[in-house]
Amino acid sequence: MDGAMGSDPGIDKLIVEFRDRSVRALARTISIVEDGRPGFEGILSLLHRDLGSAHRIGITGAPGVGKSTLVERLVQRYRKLDKTVAVVAVDPTSPFTGGAFLGDRIRMGSVALDSGVYIRSMATRGASGGLAITTCEVCDVLDAFGFERILVETVGAGQSELAIAGTADTAVLVLVPESGDGIQVLKAGVMEIADLYVVNKSDRPAAEQMVTELQGILSIRAEVPTSSGISHPPQWNPPVLRTVATEDEGTEELVTALEEHVEAMRTTGVLGRRRKERLIRHTRDVVDRSLRQRVWKASDGQQRIAENVDRVVSGAMSPYQLAELIIEAGLPRVGD
Amino acid sequence: MDHAAKASLVDSHKHSRSRPIRVLVAKPGLDGHDRGAKVVATALRDAGMEVIYTGLHQTPEMIADAAVQEDVDVVGLSILSGAHLTLVPRVRELLEEKGRGDTLLVVGGIIPQADCQHLEEQGVAKLFGPGTPTGEIVSFISAWSENRSK
């Protein structure tokens, strides 16, 4: 891809409007990328050279800890610093119906109608493996559009959410004093990824204890070299911050800590290393995704499964034999 | 609706599109009651749609902005307060201005029969009065979506 426009006039026009800073074009581009509509890879390829201006911040934590409220406060503060901000709020798709109730926008009413703010609600769409790559691609579109701060808000600390946090420049884990003892948090895996910890609703009595416990665990972790492959700036001690998002307390300190983190990464070269690691992972993921789709398509895999499933059920054929059949049918024709 | 009927509704909607229908459900104006809007939002989600719920006290500007940012297919307005004759056309107007006149605009709530025709002329595709079975709203949106992708 040398940057030449694709042959689709609709997409050509969209890119022109996108570069002209049309919000409608931005929103449509995000949809094309999120849905994987024809031409999406061409668009992302074109926008690749425009990446790099955004500081991507991942914010994760259990439901109800106050992430959306905290995000709203961050948006307000960034706007006061004259930074443009995009928010991607990810909520779960129902595994039974395929639908989703995306209600994070509600909490951000105060920043509505500010042209320096863009909010997009995303559903996980049951794509546990593919969610991180798609979210990353949505952030790429926002980065290319020119937003200076991108906040990605996800629920929980499962595999997908950790993967998303891993695509951020700064990963923040939000907890509340009732989060349970610190050892649980240690197990969650997110400890390997989080750069900053926030104890929200810290006006509750158990807050002080939680902060102390967390700091204790983090100091133990500091003794053990991490093998997670995530670079941290040398001497970066993940701070534990206290906020009361509803009262806008502690949020100024949070913004300062976020800015300090990205600055520390920049000056130590860690930011460059992380982004390189991210691009490597991303390229691998794109190959995997593309291969998968093309083999399924070329082999007419779903049809072959439908035709043979009864044999697998009866034991006459194993899933491995059927899989081999599909792959052998698909691989030679992948280039077609 | 029994489980089998629900399942087939979800299925028929899923197979006709490769992606979920995105719906903005908004309450413009001074309404304080959103139970009806939430019931509809839940029904749409149960039918496999992605519902962006904006909550109460939305201005037409906020609604149109959200519709554009979220690139929704459908905008659903819930109005109980009687201000529909000003709010609804204003939303339609703003959507057109922002280049999203292609969205499906539907309205629910307390709308007097006498005003329905006027609103339909102003670009509302359908009005759903109190007591409309949610399945009807789902079918209407699904059918519109299927027709559009042909």
pLDDT in tens, B94-148: 999 999 999 999 999 988 989 999 999 999 999 999 889 999 999 999 999 999 8
Residues of B in contact with A27 (CB under 8 A): 68-71
For A62, the token pair is: 């259990």
Task: Give the pLDDT band of residue A53 (cuts 50, 70, 90).
Answer: confident
Largest Cα span, chain A: 68
Mean pLDDT of A263-288: 91
CB A212 within 8 A of CB A199: no
Matching residue, tokens 């779903």: A302
Residue B31 has pLDDT above 90, yes or no: no
- State percent of chain A over pLDDT 70: 87
A31 touching chain B per CB within 8 A? yes
What pLDDT, on a 0 to 100 scale, did the predictor assign at position A1?
A: 38
> What average pLDDT does this structure show over A33-39?
92
Distance from CA of B134 to the nearest CA of A (A): 15
Of all helices (H) and strands (E), which one includes residue B20? none
- Does residue B84 carry a pLDDT above 60? yes
Q: Give backbone dihedrals phi and psi of B108, rounded to 5 degrees, phi first.
A: -130, 165
- The shortest C-alpha distance from B65 to chain A (Å) reads 7
pLDDT for A10? 87
Q: How far is A14 from chain B (nearest CA, A)?
A: 13
pLDDT in tens, A287-335: 998 888 889 989 988 899 999 999 999 999 999 999 999 999 998 888 7
Is residue A126 left, alpha or beta, with left meaning phi > 0 and alpha meaning psi from -120 to 50? left
Pick the residue from chain B with its C-alpha nearest to A91.
B50
Give the pairing type, strands A149-155 and B74-79. Answer: unpaired
Interface residues of B toward A, Cβ cutoff 8 Å, are: 10, 14, 18-20, 41-42, 44-55, 57, 61-62, 65-66, 68-71, 98-100
Arithmetic mean of pLDDT over chain B: 88
Chain B interface includes A118 (CB < 8 A) = yes
A325 touches chain B (CB under 8 A): no
pLDDT of residue A56: 96
Q: What b/e string do you get for A61-97 counting C-beta neighbours within 10 Å, with b at 16 or more? A: bbeebbbbbbbbbbbbbbbeeebbbbbbbbbbbeeeb
ipTM value > 0.90: no
pLDDT attached to residue A8: 78
- Return residues 9-28 of A near B (CB < 8 Å): 22-24, 27-28
